[in-house]
Structure formats: C-alpha cells, structure tokens
C-alpha cells in the first residue's frame, strides 16, 4: 500500500489515504502510519469497511486493549469494543448515549491512562455530532516558561465521578453505577507529561476528569485549572472533525483531549477501541 498523508490543521490532525484496514497492513505501511500517528496526534482514515474483528485486530498492533469499566455498553461478544450510540432496540439502549460531551482525555482517571483511542463511525447524523480535538502539546509549547516550570512541579487528581457530577447529570446522560465508580477510584498524575516516543511535552489536565491540583488551595486550583482549560482549547490548537459514515479516526490520548458535540437528534452509532497506556512518570 502507498500512504498519502495531508495535514488537516496547524496543530494536529491529518487525513490518510492509501490504507485499507480490512486487509493486513504490511510492516512498511504500518510503520508509516505509526509515525504519522505520533507526528499528527489525530489521524482520519476515511471510507473504511471493517468488521469488529478487523477493528480489534488492527488496534492490537498498537498495544494491549482496554475493556471499558461501563460493561453494559460493550459490544456483545466483543468486550474490547465500547459502543457509543443513541440508538435503541426493543426498548433497550445499544450503547452509551451522550458520552463525552465535555473536554476530556480518555481514561485519564486510571492509574495507567490510555495510550490511544480508535473510533469507527457506522452511522452518523446528517447534521451535528462533530468531535473537537485539542493539542495539549501545542498548548504546552505556547505557555510562558515560568508557567511551564510552575505546572511542571504540580500534580492533579483525576476522578471518574467528576465528569458525572460536573457535566453529565446536568444534560441527562445515563447514570453510572456506584460499582463502576468504586472500580475506578481517583488517581493522581503529574500536570505535564512527556510523550514516550516523541519526547514532546504536553499539559495533562482536562475539565472532564481533573478534580483538583493537589499542592494548591481550592481557589488557587480552580483558577489555574480554568486558565489551562481555556488556553488548551484556543482555536489555533483545535481540529474539529465532521464525521462521515465509515470514517476511522485515531487519536493519541497522551497529547490530546477531545469533546463530542451533542447537537444532533438523528441516529449516531460508533465503535471504539482503547489502547492501554503506561504509568505517567
């Protein structure tokens, strides 16, 4: 296969042509795709036609796969696939509706936050339902040196419950069981992280799951986090993806955060795999 890669934005994102995920990628093609993933942080592979088994097999080449703690929203027989949809069947929902309608980094509330997420769009609305991605690496680069030094010495708590209490319950998202929250207790991570493959530094807080800065007083924590959220989502750091059916989008959770937009009423049906990550040093 011959890769063709075209940037989609100044800070992150590229569209990749010349890849068919229904076929086994040769090593040279995979290596080129992997390099592009590290370089652009978000990759769009349009017009893919793959089965859940092919989705999983491709994802496994990037690492071990996570099984999401929200087990009711996993694909029957394929627990590596997390289903995000507003569709129902015989009165039963087929996956998680209203998922991620706030800026977040997938699974940052785990001791080993996820490396990457790969989303495959099977059905999309004719209008709305875009996903915005922000480069937390570009945002870090744009900070002043004193601010980089300050946050480089701080840590923050990431709490799965925080998104539910702060955002999701206010727009009517499906409830989450206490058992799921207990299975993912709060964790503490450094507020900056270094990408293990590129060496690039990034801000590592997000408004969905970051609940507080450990070393600061409450009001100081609120003020600094609010600044970092505004700063990290400035337009020059953001790529907004308008989904088409059969888009396959890959994003690097180590240097990005994202926000799904809930401005749609038609059917939306997505499959997502999540690649396990490492402890942040």
Contact predicate 19/47, CB 8 Å: no
Residue ranges covered by each domain of the chain: 4-275
In the predicted model, what is the mean pLDDT of residues 142-154? 98
Calculate mean pLDDT across residues 177-197: 97
Write out pLDDT tens, residues 53-89: 999 999 999 999 999 999 999 999 999 999 999 999 9
With b meaning 16 or more CB within 10 Å and e meaning fewer, what string describes 27-45?
eebbebbeebbeebbbbbb
CA distance 107 to 86: 21
Q: Are 73 and 225 in contact (CB under 8 A)?
A: no
Q: Determine whether domain 4-275 maps to CATH 3.60.130.10.
A: yes
Each residue of 80-131: pLDDT tens digit? Answer: 999 999 999 998 999 999 999 999 999 999 999 999 999 999 999 999 999 9
Q: So which residues are the catalytic ones?
A: 104, 106, 258, 272
Full-model pTM: 0.96
Nearest Cα neighbor of 227 from 195, 191, 263, 260 is: 191
pLDDT recorded at residue 13 = 98
| Cα distances (Å, whole numbers) of residue 225 to 99, 124, 213, 232 | 22, 33, 8, 10
């Amino acid at each position: 296969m011959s890769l063709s890669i075209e940037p989609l934005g100044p800070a992150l994102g590229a569209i990749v042509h010349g890849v068919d995920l229904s076929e086994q990628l040769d090593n040279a093609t995979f290596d080129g795709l992997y390099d592009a993933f590290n370089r652009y942080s978000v990759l769009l592979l349009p017009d893919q036609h793959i089965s859940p088994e092919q989705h999983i097999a491709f994802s496994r080449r990037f690492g071990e796969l996570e099984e999401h703690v929200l087990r009711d929203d996993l694909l029957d027989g394929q627990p590596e696939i997390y289903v995000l949809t507003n569709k129902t069947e015989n009165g039963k929902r087929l996956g998680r509706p209203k998922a991620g309608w706030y800026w977040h980094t997938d699974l940052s509330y785990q001791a080993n936050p996820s490396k990457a997420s790969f989303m495959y769009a099977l059905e999309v609305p004719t209008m709305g339902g875009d996903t915005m991605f922000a480069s937390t690496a570009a945002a870090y680069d744009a900070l002043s040196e004193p601010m980089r030094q300050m946050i480089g010495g701080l840590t923050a708590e990431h709490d799965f419950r925080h998104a539910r209490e702060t955002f999701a319950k206010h727009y009517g998202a499906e409830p989450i069981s206490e058992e799921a929250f207990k299975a993912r207790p709060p964790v503490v991570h450094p507020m900056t992280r270094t990408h293990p493959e590129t060496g690039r530094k990034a801000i590592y807080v997000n408004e969905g799951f970051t609940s507080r800065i450990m070393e600061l007083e409450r009001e100081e924590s609120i003020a600094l986090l609010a600044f970092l959220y505004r700063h990290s989502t400035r337009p020059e750091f953001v790529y907004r993806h308008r989904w088409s059916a059969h888009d396959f989008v890959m994003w690097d959770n180590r240097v990005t955060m994202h926000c799904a937009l809930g401005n749609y009423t038609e059917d939306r049906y997505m499959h997502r795999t999540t690649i396990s990550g490492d402890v942040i040093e």
